[in-house]
Amino acid sequence: MKEIWQSEFAVAHAEILVRSFKHFTRRNLLAGNFSSAEQAEIIFNSPFVLVSHGTEADPVLNYGNQTALSLWEMSWAELTRTPSRLTAEAPNREERARLLAAVTTHGFIDDYSGVRISKNGRRFQISQATVWNLITPDGKPCGQAATFCEWKFL
């Protein structure tokens, strides 16, 4: 059985995540040169959180690395069926919507913080998150992603 990061989707999506991050932030998500498969494995097993959602009217999460899966207490199958708005508590969803609108307009934001909630109701504060737009190789919007390495359980 293949690992999640070995799937055709995960390898292709890792390329989109890395390329889009560089395009909008002018920084590298990963240091070094890696093959597509190596990049997908490194990202999936990294100690930082990396999540993304698509462009649906109510965007659904389409990627989460192992750290994200653990933090949100979900399996890959659960995470990739979850509307991304449900990762925030109801009172924080309006603020989250404003954040995503700003990202859409400006390409990315740095230093975002907010409260999120796991599947089992565990609340945690994220800080210094970078959120950016995702684009296909031909420049078409295909979602948004976030990464952060600082969180604190509340």
* 29 pLDDT above the threshold of 90: yes
Region 48-153: CATH code = 3.30.450.20
Whole-number pLDDT of residue 25? 97
pLDDT tens profile 82-103: 999 999 877 677 777 777 788 8
Spacing of C-alpha 97 from chain mean position: 15
pTM of the model: 0.93
Q: Locate the domains of the chain by residue range.
A: 48-153
Whole-number pLDDT of residue 101? 82
pLDDT tens profile 48-75: 999 999 999 999 999 999 999 999 999 9
